[in-house]
Every structure is written in C-alpha cells, then in structure tokens.
A = this chain, B = another copy of it.
Amino acid sequence: MPINSFENYPMSWKPDLSNTKPPIYLALVRQLEDDIKAGILKPGTKLPPQRELADYLDINLSTVSRALKICEQKGLLSASVGNGTYISSDVTSDKIFICGQENPPFIEMGGLYPHIEANRKVKQYAERLLKKPDALKLFSYAESEGTEIQRTAGAAWFRKMGLHTDSQHIILAAGGQNALTATVCGLLKQGDRIGTDYVTYPGIKTIAQMIGVQLVAIQHKDFEMTEAGIYYAIQNENIKGIYVIPDFHNPTSHIMSLETRKMIAQIAQEENILIIEDAINNLLEDNPLPPIAAFAPEQVICLASLSKTIAPGLRTAFIYVPEKYHCDLATTLYNMNISNPALLSTISADLIINGIADEVIMERKKEISNRNLIVNEILNGYLVESKLTCPIRYLLLPDYFTGKSFEICALQTGVQVFGAERFTVGNKPADKTARISVITPPTINDLTEGLQRLKKILS
C-alpha cells in the first residue's frame, strides 16, 4: 500500500489496478486504452507525472514508464521530458476514409477523388496499347522496380518538377500510399521518430501507427516549419527524418516557400536526416517550385504519384531515391508487392513519354480552376487563400465550431467534410478548421449545392 493517501490529490487520472492480472505494465496499458474509449480520458488531457502515478499505484517508476511508452507507440499519447504526458488530440477521430464508395448518401467533399471525365485519354491509350503485338506480357510479372523505360519516364516526370535525375534513381510503386508505406517500413523501425507538420496527411499517421513510428509535430510559423523548430526536434526529439508536403499541403493548401525548401534541404544535409517529400500535387501548380530533393539529392526521398494528376486507377507512383536508400527501399517494395502491374506501369510511362500526360494535367487544372472560382465566390471570407489549381481548400471556422463539430453539422445537412482533428499530430488542441475537397463532387451542380449548404451552417 502507498504510504500517503492520494484520495484528496487532484490527479487527472487514477487508474485502478486492483482487479487486474499481471503483468502490471500491460494491465496499465489496458486501463489507459479503456479509459480513453470510455471517454474518461479526453484528448489533450495531461496525465500525472510518471513518478506520481508510480507512487499512487505503489509500483516502480520504470513500470509506469514502460506502460506509457507502449501507449505512445500506439499513438494514444505523447510525452516529453520536463513537459509531461498528454493524451493525443486525435484519439477520438476516425482514421479511415472510405474510398470510392458508389452513390454515397451525401455530397462527398471529404475524400479526394479526382474527376472521372479526365480519365478518357488514359482509357483510350490503354485500348491502343492492348493492340500492340507484345501486349501479352502486360499480364505477366513485371520487373520489381520498374523497367528501364518506366524508370526513365519517372525521371522525366521529376524533371518537369525541377528535379534533374536519371532512371537509376527511380523506383516504381503501386500508388502514393504504397510508396509512403514502403518508405516508412523500409527505412525506419519501431520506436523511430519523424517530424511532421502539426496537421498533416492522415495516411502517414496510420502507417506510423501500424509499425510503431512516432510522429513529432514540428514548430511552425505561417504554415511552414521553422528552422529552430527543426533543429529542436533533431536535437531533443531525436527524429530520424521529416515528412513534408511542400505543394498544396494537405490539409492547409499552403505552398511552401522557396526559402523554406532550401532551409530544410540544408539542415537535412548538415544533420544527415532523411526527408520524405510528398510531391503528389507538385505538377498541379502552374509554375511549380522545385522539390526539396533538388536541393539535397542525397537526403530526400521524393514521392510522385499519378493519382491526382493523371488518374488514380493507374496506381502508379514514382519514387526518387538517393543511392544510399535504394537497396532498402527496393527490398521493402518487393516484399510488399513483388511487382507493380505491368499493364498500368506501362500505360503510365507511355503517357508521359508520348505527351498525353501533359494534356491530361492541363485538363485537370482547368477543371479544378473552374471549381475554385465557384468555391471562392460562395465561401468568400471563410477560406485560406490558395492558387486556383489547388484540389482542396481549408476552411477557417467561427469560434463556436470545432473541426469535429462542424464535420458532424455538415453531415447533418448532407455534406461530408473533414475536420482538423483528422489531421492533427501531437497533443495540442486542433485548430478550428476543416478541409473540403474541390475535386470530388461529380458535377458542378453537386459542388455548388454542397458549398451552399456549408455556407448556410457558417453564417
């Protein structure tokens, strides 16, 4: 029994281990999970210091520490020395975004599903390709990293973005998320930490959680990571790398400045840390800035998916990978996929080589621009400013909304949007913001209707 009675202390969490079976540390983990599920522990709650918990439970400090470490790896909390332990701010938000559901019972402006009409040229090329004499091999195994021709097309794709490289540095993957998963699984291990923006693409969160990698929110200013923040995370949080989305950041729609790109490249080189650069939206910009990889080609893994620019159904992503990471990444992709679909890789590469890809991008940009004009008109005053070709927009909500409450409210009126809670990293309370997809509603009418419903809630 503890010597002091804690009954009158104001402890934010009083786990009860009396009816649990050993080992103690696992019982404590279970208790924490249950209390989060039961709503007893809320996002952002500061837990008592580990020593205090140990004292209260009459167990050793290290036992508490061990339990909390496991919870941290599960993404339930984040802890830092001197500062304390806090429940993660996204523990109560959904992490799966149903994909491509047909005929949803609402106007979908949550998930990002590009406009179907722009697939036409891709389809037409597929038909031509199948008529070629050696088409049979399109249904056999493909080379695991992609053929020389496909990797050369990938290099050309990166060249459009401003990254000059060659086929040796390119690997194909089955889509952007597949590429990201392979990168994280192949180059990081359980317990490693990587820095991210304080709101970021949820896909990186689910992957990190899956393999026990911690995400650390890096200090930011005006939607960009600060130099001091990055140095801090390197020195004090021991991060192995940084995940960034420089172009049309998800969810904020921000485009990272050239200075910050160079700054991150510089630090990456000096400190030898890995940059995972998600350049999925780069070519949707009119005059895209070069990716960070262009300034630190030895440190940056740069991911370029064709899903948002050409067609999602191609399931093709090109990965720019520096020599030193090549083997690990290729091995991991081999383990996950064996190979990419030859048919789709071939279509993707050919479209780039024969110039059709450029035409498709042009069409997509045109369509998105038209839509953004409408968005700007209807939601004027609630939007984070953005270029016209940005596929998402970021809403700044009135004070009395949280992202989550707005999301619920919007769904009541038949519009799906995603509140900031889905994107948060770490334990700071989420911003009062929400992301809307400009590209997803099938028709302009659907888009307009959706926007007007949102407007009604807002004003």
Taking Cβ atoms with an 8 Å cutoff, the residues of A that contact B are 96, 98-102, 113-114, 116-117, 119-120, 122-123, 126-127, 130-131, 135-144, 147, 174-178, 181, 185, 190, 203, 206-207, 210-212, 307, 311-315, 331-332, 334-344
Contacts and interface: CB of A to CB of B under 8 A. Distances in A.
B137 A116 contact: yes
Q: Which of A144, A185, A314, A338 has the most CB of B within 10 A?
A: A338
Contacts of A338: 99, 175-178, 203
Nearest to A131: B127
17 contacts: A96-B334, A98-B144, A99-B142, A100-B141, A101-B143, A114-B140, A119-B137, A122-B139, A127-B131, A139-B314, A140-B311, A174-B315, A177-B336, A177-B338, A185-B211, A206-B331, A341-B344
Contacts of A137: 116, 119, 313
Q: Which of A120, A210, A335 has the most CB of B within 10 A?
A: A335
Contacts of A174: 174, 315, 337, 341
Contacts of A119: 136-140
A113 to B, nearest CB: 5
A200 B314 CA distance: 33
Q: Interface SS of chain A: helix, strand, loop or mixed? A: helix
A113 B136 CA distance: 13
A239 to B, nearest CB: 19
A439 to B, nearest CB: 11
B337 A100 contact: no
A210 B332 contact: yes
Given A102-B143, A313-B342, 18 more contacts: A96-B331, A99-B338, A100-B140, A100-B143, A114-B140, A116-B136, A119-B136, A123-B135, A123-B139, A126-B130, A139-B312, A174-B174, A177-B338, A185-B210, A203-B335, A211-B211, A315-B337, A341-B341
Q: Which of A96, A113, A131 has the most CB of B within 10 A?
A: A96
Nearest to A345: B313
A334 to B, nearest CB: 6
